[in-house]
Amino acid sequence: MLTWRRTFVTSLARLNRNPPATGANPTLLRCAQVLRNSQQKPCSLEDQEIKLHGYIRSVRKQKRFAFAEISDGSAVDAVQAILKPAQAAELSTGTAIEISGIWKACPPGKEQTHELQATAVDVVGKADPETYPIQKKYHSPEFLRQIPHLRFRTPLNSLLARFRSECLYQLGNVFRAAPNGGFIQVHPPVITSSDCEGAGETFAVIPRETLATGLPDKEHEHFFRAPKYLSVSSQLHLEAYAAELGNVWTLAPMFRAEKSDTPRHLSEFYMLEAEVNFLSNLESLTDVVEYLLRDLTRRLYETPAGQEILSIKHEANPESSEPNATLDLRQRWLNLMDGPKWRRLTYTDATAALQEAVSQGNVTFEYAPTWDGGLQLEHERYLVDAINDGQPIFITDYPKAIKPFYMGPSANASAESETVACFDLLLPEVSEVAGGSLREHRLPELIKNMREHGLIKSSSENAESQDYPHLLPGEDLSHLQWYADLRRWGTAPHGGFGLGFDRFLGYLTGVSSIRDTVAFPRYFGRADC
């Protein structure tokens, strides 16, 4: 009780103390600047008048003074201000304010090292405390997804936005500093003519009035004189860039009309894609991917946003009866940065290992692993956790029959088990985050693949007019002729990859649902705001 009184009296005395006279306006700073400066010895801001713009995260009003936590989105921690009752009269959680004051050291024993002794408070945006949905209590991710326009005002979600920004900045440095001259960033189109993956899960692009009038009867009457779609991958256009520029990369929004209602899928997401020219073996391509991701993680580790991610405690639901498992994010990052070289395991060997685990009774799968059936999520997780001891792993050389037309053959492909030179990168917990391949750079083989995938049109009307190399009479490459042209005139062996940027961010931040790594998530059945 005596300790409390001593603190109370001291705080009140500090609050009523006249500030030193200043001849200029107080310096406008961000909360992160103030907090970082306060960790230095000595603190250069101590006893200086400063100004902040921000929001009230919480406020405690007492008879003789009040405490307010102020956040401006620049740091997880808030700045604590001490105010007179009149200054805090109109403050409530969510209120936007401009506040000036003296930055003073706190007495020993207090949680914070410094606090702002307010000299002026200006309310610039009121928030009704009865209706404002963000309060100082636990809010479930499901609840916050219903108000995506406001969830930035929670510490974790504002941190995720800052961390994403830091990733974008560091990506440019990573690609510029990559070996062999680095990469050039490019901007491929979002509106495309084709479904790169061949799965047919595309969104069509049409003018709004077409919804009322209906689709045109003839192809040339479309807005673009042919049907167009939102891109599912920039790969084909990156190959055009790489043919002249060399190594290129992009980070662009992708759109897939998958009716997947899972925490791993979005209808709009960001894909990090790169293409490497004059590349002729898969091992070199996986080496590039491993280098880039390790380097990105190392750079992020040294940033304030990265350290905040590693230090923040993910808030648990207090009403949950399940134990809150501690996620060791720091060790996860260290494994990415400095762990052993990531294992390469062929799809054939992976399937055999899964089948052996089943036969020995070590595991039971919902879907039996078969060579021509592809890998399910449960298979990928077992490969990472059980077979590879929880470390990243590349699964390479998948069957040709289950992969897109543009992939080149494996170095050891056989007629009995025809495979292509491709890979999927699997990480613990999130499974697949990246995939890539060597591209089929030979024109005859590319056209053969396109024919086998049903991508070449055939019409008797074109029997006499088509003279494109390696086409049969009546065949037409249609909207993919430009892609074949890349092989027709001066091609080189090349390969590339695509990484689910949002999913990788979820892995680095420990956020289990991809819907929480994206500010305004769009997925089957939902596209708020």
> What is the distance of C-alpha 305 from the center of its chain?
15
Sign, CA torsion 483/486/487/489: positive
Measured distance between the N- and C-terminal CA atoms of the chain, rounded to whole angstroms? 51
Task: Report whether 502 contacts 514 (CB < 8 A).
Answer: yes
Task: Report whether 271 contacts 233 (CB < 8 A).
Answer: yes
pTM of the predicted structure, to 2 decimals: 0.90
Tokens of 361: 């009774």
Tokens of 254: 């992708």
**Structural domains present in the chain:** 27-137 (2.40.50.140), 155-190+242-252+259-311+324-441+492-516 (3.30.930.10)
Task: Report whether 496 contacts 239 (CB < 8 A).
Answer: yes
pLDDT at 4: 40
372: exposed, middle or buried (Cβ count in 10 Å: 0-12, 13-18, 19+): exposed
> Residue 258 — φ and ψ, nearest 5°?
-85, 130
Question: CB neighbours of 347 closer than 8 A, spacing ≥ 6?
Answer: 371, 375, 395, 396, 397, 398, 399, 419
The Cα–Cα gap between 223 and 352 comes to: 51
Tokens of 96: 């936007």
Quote the radius of gyration of the chain (alpha carbons, Å).
29
Tokens of 22: 């200043």
**Mean pLDDT, each 10-residue run in order, the chain (529 residues):** 41 48 78 95 94 97 95 96 96 97 92 94 96 92 95 95 98 96 96 74 91 86 90 96 97 93 92 97 98 98 96 60 60 95 97 97 96 96 97 97 96 82 97 98 97 86 70 92 95 97 97 95 92
Task: Report whether 398 contacts 418 (CB < 8 A).
Answer: no
